[in-house]
Amino acid sequence: MPKIKSHKGTQKVLNVRDGGSIKIGHPGTRHNTGKKNAASNRCGRKASQLNKADANRLKKVQF
């Protein structure tokens, strides 16, 4: 059997923390931030935790 390749798109977006929870960034923070207000830009810098339903769905994907 060949090795399972890791999913590169998922690997660039998600990080697994030490406790097993999955860290993900907020959407809408990559470009066009000049027209958004400062509070939403500040909140976008903080990491978010992936919810349990999506984490269970992504257990099948190698990242």
Q: How far is CA 48 from CA 1, 23, 26, 30, 45, in A?
A: 36, 6, 7, 15, 9
User: What is the pTM for the complete model shown?
Assistant: 0.69
- Cβ pair 29, 46 in contact under 8 A: no
pLDDT of res. 3: 85
| Residue that has been written with the tokens 């993900």 in this structure | 24
Locate the domains of the chain by residue range: 8-60
CB 19 within 8 A of CB 38: no
Write out residues in the chain with pLDDT < 70, as ranges.
Answer: none
- In the CATH scheme, what architecture does the domain 8-60 have? Irregular (4.10)
Token pair of 37, please?
């207000």
